[in-house]
Structure 1
Amino acid sequence: MPESGTGRGAGTGVRRADAGVRGVKSALRTVALLELLAERADRPARLDELAEELDVPRSSMYQLLRTLTDCGWVRTDTTGSLYGIGIRTLLTGTSYLDGDARVRAIRPYLDEASDALGETIHLARLDGPHVVYLATRESHEYPRTISRVGRRVPAHAGALGKALLAERPESELPLAEGALTARTQRTHTDRAALLADLRRVRERGYAIDREETVTGIAGFGFALRCDVPAVDAISCSVPVARLTDEHQDRVVSVMREIRTKVEALLSPASGAPDWR
């Protein structure tokens, strides 16, 4: 009897490079497992949970977990019954950032925006229906929210993602199938409402997130038009309790200036890889 496949893969970041190329089952299964463990973060999983979630036979899941544990991609507790993401994934993620010339080039401008505004500044990249934080400069005025590097947030649920979605035709939006998930009570879960908001983003030239990602925090997102359509965006997050009209105007002015500087710097470089 053939083994079950990794049915969950289509709902994660697992992607086929070419529609006509058949995926390698073991590779897809490994990626789906690592992504599931990464999503769980500080919630370790048991063997049976992982096998059920990924629709994989228990014996096959055990063998895969043991292999990845031996290689450092998965870690287990002293009883050998709980599994979590391993340190090798951190090394790989760090290599991604270290190898990205654009991220290195933008970092000083994040510092400039942070110094000018005293608020939290982000750089993120669109990844399917999500945005992934690539760099952050934290404000010292309020506690950390969800802005750690590597965090994935639904693109429809915040200023960074909406700024990037607005760069695309409505017929080509990379939104997940089904209902839009809510991060707070203010997140757009209705597609018609989201599309109306994206039209306003296009008109004003930047996105506004009023407690749609984190309760108590407003965000202002600006797509970096270094690609067509844009794949990276910067944003500024401000506690709504101290977001006056004057401060909002200042945030928008500074972030527009930073965007202009970054876009002028990052014209396409001859010989640079055209990552897809």
Structure 2
Amino acid sequence: MTEGVKDMPSPKDAAPGGAQVKSAVRTVELLEYFAGNTGMHSLAEVQEQTGYPKSSLYMLLRTLVELGWVETDATGTRYGIGVRALLVGSSYIDGDEAVAAARPTLDRLADDTGETIHLARLDGTNVVYLATRQSQHSLRPFTRIGRRLPAYCTSHGKALLATRTDEQIRRLLPEKLEPLTEHTHTDREELIEELQRVRELGYAVDREENTLGVRCFGVAIPYRHPARDAVSVSVPVARLTPGREQTIRDALMDARDRLTLATRHL
């Protein structure tokens, strides 16, 4: 199963009309599988990952293709996410009050730093990117809206985890963490120690923990507790001097204050 699918309720536990619920759960699981595994996949690949009977899986895929939620390649034998999913994702972001309230501050932070800015939301053990402002420099990181990354190896993810208690973090994360780079924390207790420093400083730092050559600084937006949204500034290490780092931290803390005011009504 793909990440997120394993946490879904079992159709066996559904109320009357279980067959309909089972079909709905399988549909959502398929869409989450394609969303988390880009590119095109054969029926055998999808069947191996989901464990669904091949005949019912084929019929479900064909229905989703007809409705535009899944697409096929020229041969009609490989499947991937369809354009309808983009429409739903765009609708979620367009209608989100926190994203709308944050836009002026994200614009200002991008102007003040000249670097790439991200707004992200905690979703289980991951952060999902909701908005971005690209740096004008030719050397810059690029992250698409909707991308998911483990919270423990991003600055905004760590800023959000730091608003949870140590016990909540232990329940949320496994003891051993999967590394994305050689700098990623792989021990949960070491991460928890760092999160204590994040609480003291008020911001988190990603030291090339998900992308080599890029350092990020992140702060949580405290309009909810524990926080669910955070903003970050990403900077190529080659452009990051001590003075530059201080300027970015100051701008980020100012942005946090502005975002706190902008989202106080939510």
Q: Which residue of 2 aligns with 1:232?
A: 229
Q: Which residue of 2 aligns with 1:216?
A: 213
| 1:12 and 2:8 aligned | no
Aligned length: 259
* Structure 1 alignment gaps of length 5 or more: 1-7, 270-276
Q: Which residue of 2 aligns with 1:56?
A: 52
Q: Which residue of 2 aligns with 1:26?
A: 23
TM superposition shift of 1:175 = 3.2
TM superposition shift of 1:268 = 3.0
Q: Distance in 2 between matches of 1:150 and 1:141?
A: 23
Match of 2:94 among 88, 94, 98: 98
Query: What secondary structure, in the 3-state scheme, does the structure 1 residue paired with 2:93 have?
Result: helix
* Structure 2 alignment gaps of length 5 or more: none
Query: What secondary structure, in the 3-state scheme, does the structure 1 residue paired with 2:172 have?
Result: coil
Kept in 2: contact 1:134–1:150 (CA 8 A): yes
| 1:196 and 2:193 aligned | yes
Q: Distance in 1 between matches of 2:6 and 2:130?
A: 16
TM superposition shift of 1:238 = 0.6
Q: Which residue of 2 aligns with 1:36?
A: 33
Kept in 1: contact 2:141–2:234 (CA 8 A): no
Kept in 1: contact 2:219–2:230 (CA 8 A): yes
Match of 1:175 among 146, 152, 172: 172
| 1:241 and 2:234 aligned | no
Q: Distance in 1 between matches of 2:155 and 2:140?
A: 17
Instruction: Show CA shifts across 1:55-99 (max 9, x none).
Output: 111111101100100000000012111100000000000000111
TM superposition shift of 1:168 = 0.2
Q: Distance in 2 between matches of 1:122 and 1:228?
A: 20
Label 1:210 to 1:9 Cα distance change in 2 as closer, same or farther (>3 A).
Answer: closer
Label 1:132 to 1:231 Cα distance change in 2 as closer, same or farther (>3 A).
Answer: same
TM superposition shift of 1:254 = 0.5
Percentage of identical aligned residues: 48
Q: Which residue of 2 aligns with 1:185?
A: 182
Q: Distance in 1 between matches of 2:214 and 2:231?
A: 16
The code of the aligned residue for 2:95 comes to G
Label 1:181 to 1:92 Cα distance change in 2 as closer, same or farther (>3 A).
Answer: same
Q: Distance in 1 between matches of 2:100 and 2:24?
A: 31
Highest RCO, 1 vs 2 (Cα 8 Å, sep ≥ 6): 2
Q: Distance in 1 between matches of 2:3 and 2:150?
A: 16
Q: Distance in 2 between matches of 1:16 and 1:90?
A: 25
TM superposition shift of 1:12 = 3.3
Kept in 2: contact 1:14–1:28 (CA 8 A): no
Q: Distance in 2 between matches of 1:117 and 1:35?
A: 35
Q: TM-score, normalised by structure 2?
A: 0.92
Q: Which residue of 2 aligns with 1:263?
A: 260
TM superposition shift of 1:231 = 0.3
The code of the aligned residue for 1:50 comes to V
